[in-house]
Amino acid sequence: MEYRIEVENLNVYFDELHILKDISLQIPKNAVTSLIGPSGCGKSTFIRTLNRMNDMISTFKMDGTVLLDGEDIYNPKVDVVELRKKVGMVFQKPNPFPKSIFDNVAYGLRVHGISDKDYLAQKVEESLKAAALWDEVKNILDKSAMGLSGGQQQRLCIARTIAVEPEVILMDEPCSALDPISTTKIEDLIHKLKNDFTIIIVTHNMQQATRVSKYTAFFLHGEIVESGLTEKIFIEPEDKRTEDYITGRFG
């Protein structure tokens, strides 16, 4: 099997707090991997380590290796801007910019120096289509993204991420602020996107993990208890703690 991301013996600290403990995990290419576990177990910290969003926190310290396509992303020579182009992120709460729908999707391309109008228009259309939002917004591209519903905003954020053609998309509980219908739309979208992107999704929703992902990793107190095929984790978990969590006995 081909892996997009390989994490080996990763430890993360904030000041003296040991948040992630000796994490090793391999993320298969062009598939969806779910990260599950109770709140505060380190899932979000983990995915924010993969696009170096934790760098902004002054107390952040880490050791171990994180390889993207075999290259260490914490190598001092790595350009964080280039890394984040390859590893996009969708946040828990939809966070479109207070700009027009068009400018939101074009933003990533523009900051990377693309200004050709025809090319931008074409990429914006492609990305909105890929995010299953085009039909709803094609006539209001110049209107503010803040006027869209929460579900539309989240799909816009996905379109914005797709537009810069990342290899990996990190999703940090992308549906937790959305209603069930919007959630279904996002899940359908994830199904569509998994052929072209490697997707890592943090979720608190067990059903969602089984619906969208091929692989699952179960986090507890900063460690990975168990990881592997989603079916295996949910039908015959090896660890008692995994079983307790997925059957709702704690968490």
Partner 1 sequence: MHRVIPPKIAQKIMTGVFWASGLLTIVILLVIIGYVLLKGMPALSLEFILGNPIRSGRSGGIFPFIMSSIYVTLIAILVATPLGVGAAVYLSEYAGENRIVKLIRFGAETLSSIPSIVFGLFGLAFFVIYLGLGWSVLSGGLTLALMALPTILAASEVSIESINKSYAEGSLALGATKWQTIYKVVIPAALPGITTGVILGMGRAIAEAAAVLYTVGAALMIPTSLMDAARPLPLHLYILATEGLSMQNAWGTAAVLVIMILIITVVTNVLVDRYRKKMMGR
Which residues of this protein are in contact with partner 1, per CB under 8 A? 51, 53, 56, 58, 81-85, 88-89, 91, 93, 95-99, 107-108, 110-112, 143-148, 157, 160-161, 164
Please give the Cα distance from 247 to 119 (Å, whole number).
49
User: Minimum distance from CB of 232 to partner 1 (Å)?
Assistant: 32
Please give the Cα distance from 249 to 183 (Å, whole number).
25
User: Minimum distance from CB of 100 to partner 1 (Å)?
Assistant: 8
User: Minimum distance from CB of 157 to partner 1 (Å)?
Assistant: 7
Q: Which two tokens stand for residue 229?
A: 């095929």
Length of the chain: 251
- Helix, strand, coil proportions of the chain in percent (round to 5)? 40, 25, 35
Phi-psi region of 89 (alpha: psi -120 to 50; beta: other; left: phi over 0): beta
User: Minimum distance from CB of 73 to partner 1 (Å)?
Assistant: 13
User: Minimum distance from CB of 251 to partner 1 (Å)?
Assistant: 26
Neighbouring CB atoms inside 10 A of 187's CB total 18
Q: Cα 67 from chain centroid?
A: 17
CA distances from 177 to 37, 56, 73, 183 (A): 18, 25, 31, 9
